[in-house]
Amino acid sequence: MESVGFKEWSVVSEALGCGLQSILLRKGGIAEGRAGFSFRHREFFLFPTHFHEQPEKVRRIDIPIPEPEESKIGLKYWARIEDTRVLISWPMAEALESLHVLRREVVQERFEDDRTPGIHIAFVRVFRVEPIWTIPCEKRYRGCRSWVNLPERPAGLRFGPVLSDDQHERKRCAFSAAICGGS
């Protein structure tokens, strides 16, 4: 298992960790490099960030968001990608609304940003990390990029699925229906 982190707003990380969200939506960060964004890792820790976070851009305001700590970061969730797509159809992206907590206008803004309309989508299975893996907040984790290399993970971490197999399968069916039906 790699020790890599995927930077995501804290509120979205918590939505994933509560089972309220099952997809990741990404256009890409400023520091993604020439090739741009891609889901280049299939398994990763969710790296919660408050950088650029705007809680008013989510539909669910009842998600508990931990206060940021200056000196450390708690890695509470780990994810495995089960499917990825680059969506170039706005109706298809719109059809995924039940699988995320972002407001429609935020997704549309990301979709339309840049010269080429579209958005990267990943359907994920999320697991709780026990105990929470705490790492020091270092300068190398800052900046507008999606992926960060983490220290070697400690031995003894356990991973339990956030959703039951049945709940996850229902989300997978909703994802497939949206991708196939949202032409």
48-96 tens-digit pLDDT: 987 655 666 778 667 776 666 678 899 999 999 999 999 999 999 999 9
pTM for the full model?
A: 0.89
98/69: higher pLDDT: 98
**How would residue 135 be classed by pLDDT, with cut points 50, 70 and 90?**
very high
Q: Among residues 100, 150, 142, which one has the least CA distance to residue 120?
A: 100
Q: Do residues 144 and 29 make contact, with C-beta atoms less than 8 angstroms apart?
A: yes
Region 107-121: mean pLDDT is: 85
Q: Which two tokens stand for residue 84?
A: 């990825």
**CA-to-CA distance for 98 and 94, rounded, in angstroms?**
9
Query: Residue 11: which H helix or E strand, with range?
Result: helix 10-17
Which amino acid is it at 81?
I
Q: Do residues 129 and 77 make contact, with C-beta atoms less than 8 angstroms apart?
A: yes
Any idea where the domains of the chain sit in the sequence?
4-181
The pLDDT value recorded for residue 17 is 95
pLDDT, one tens digit per residue, over 165-174 is 999 999 999 9
125/103: higher pLDDT: 125
Collapsing DSSP states into helix, strand and coil, what is residue 103?
Answer: coil
